[in-house]
Structure 1
Amino acid sequence: LDYNEPESLLARILIPRVSGSKNLTRVQGIVQGHFTNLGWHVEKDVFDADTPLGVKPMTNLVFTHDPSAPRRFVLSAHLDSKYFPTHRADQFVGATDSAAPCAMLLDLATALTPWLDARKRRVEEAGGEEGRTGQGETLQIIFFDGEEAFQDWTATDSIYGARHLVEKWSETETSPAPIQSTPKTALRRISHLVLLDLLGAPNPLIRSFFPNTGWLFDEFMHSEDRLGRAGILWPGLDQDRYSAQREQYGARERSFFVPRNAAGMQMQAGSIEDDHLPFMRAGVPIVHMIAVPFPSVWHTIKDDAAALDLPTIKAWALILRLTVAEYLGLDPSASLANANDQRRRDRAELVSY
């Protein structure tokens, strides 16, 4: 996550990466290699998109920890950066849009893979299908291609990858998952889709757009609060200092999340167009984790490493780790002999770098 370190994953993807370009292919290789090393299942959704600039090859990357699980909890972001036709604008790297969100997902996979592996082993030891009781959901991470418009944002010049994947996943599968009696579409296996966008700059404001996932939005907000009060989210701030600081507008340590009951803070569902729209229209429950107002550097050459704030990025990573781990009910120590010591080590690793 440290973009100041040249070999960090974020630094390596912080380059212009327009859909159809060699740079994006290179970045996709970095991302795929990361998940391959972690032992995740890889799915590449390769297609040709008809754009205002001609046909462009595109690839959605889909990584699933346990493809035999009947349900998927999906976190996602777009990997491509916006196309600009002129120099120097063509050097746009999209640090918040969405290199940093992608790096957060890579970090999430790294942090949770040991927990997910342990749960999968317990399922297998308990007899496969029978051991899945209460554990039928796995983590899936999607990196969309073609989110950005090549010219003006329209229904046909935008979110190419998300539109294609929803169309593909709406088709009936040829065989059911191991513990299903009937086939389902891949789309129907998604319990929730969380989309990250425009994150990594200090002082984001995140709102809940969808009443049916307000409870999940609250879980992210509660994770932030618990980590902050424990002195973990912002190192150096104890409970009292964090509690006071987080109320100050403009302070980096204030809450990222706007409470759902805040007056004047509600926005119309779907009012911000992004990769979630095709999924939302297909009935998938959505949490849209996007900064509103957009960062001041949005779609400018200044959306580079200088726009990012490392403590903010690390805070996001911890919030994601804790919320997703708890949502999935992960407890890797359950089947270990020295459970208490292992549990302490595991949880320490979850909130450290």
Structure 2
Amino acid sequence: MNNAELSLFHRTILALLCLAGGVVSALSGIKELCSDACTAAHTFSFFNLPMQLLGVAYFVGLLAVAIILGKARKPAWWRRIFTAMVTMGMGAEIWFVGIQVFQIKRICIFCAVVAGIVAIVALLWGALQWRPLMETIRGGSRMNMVGRLMARGALVLTALGAGALISFAGLRPGTTAGEVVNPYIGNQMSPVEVIFITDWYCPSCLKAEPAMTDIVTKLSGKAKFTFIELNIHENSYNYVPANLSFLINEKRDYLKLRRALHTLAAKTPTPSEEELRNLARQCGVTYKPLPLSVVIKGLQFAAGIVSSAGINSTPTVLVVNRKSGANTVLQGDKAITLDAVGKAVDAVARGRN
């Protein structure tokens, strides 16, 4: 096998690895394929871009440069570009794997495979470059040898540090930023909010649940809705994290998930994570546990609404226009009807209490 054939062979291996990395990155965006351990990692974004999209773009870029390497008239520059891209990828992966190990405390299998592919590409590329690098360095004086070694080392270290630094600056857990925690379903553009204040173990709240479901279903085009807990019963706190997770992450299926949560609450006051995962799976979604900081924000959000509106009983419905400040309060299961809430929504939309 001559050098040209060897070069073609290794370029083919690099191209296949890049393709594999792109495919794995794309597959990680299919939530049905995600394990419960990887959902927390997937809440992270990179400068507000989904991690899966970034992974696909990165490997497509590597693949393009690998193809160009075989046809470029001045391959030295393209080798440097490929070296920088691979090393930056290594720096970024080291940072993100560190976040998973020390912050999330869970390892996403897709992320681990992607990191492994980047590491293999880096090792293979380093091995391929070692011999020509040594030949180039030996082709000059001792001073030139030191200078060239330092130049190559500086490129690698700079790219590695840049990858880690960019990841540090750009990686953000999507559900911990205040503006991203959106516990509303329905018409997100509406200034009218319908806030259901309930307790998971309140008998009157349970009676009002069918009416609340009907209200959300039939008025979803007129307002946005959320469910918060006053937590009169101590065990209700145990369902706050799951309820908030479903409100944030599974808006389309929230009502179905809420019914399932009530069924589970009737069986146990202390749901385990495994029970919540099974519940979500039966509803066709994946349970995504929220960081403690997000749960605390959810509790603060609920406490602020309850305090400002002076609400001290459940079930209660607060209908408020955030632009005009107009609001209406309906209390008790008998007062919470589709007709009553519909009239309240229309009234506050016009700026009337």
Q: Shorter-chain TM-score: what band?
A: under 0.3
Whose helix fraction is larger, Structure 1's or Structure 2's?
Answer: 2
Greater radius of gyration (CA): 2
Whose strand fraction is larger, Structure 1's or Structure 2's?
Answer: 1
| Greater RCO structure (CA 8 Å; 6+ sep) | 1
Normalising by structure 1, report the TM-score. 0.23
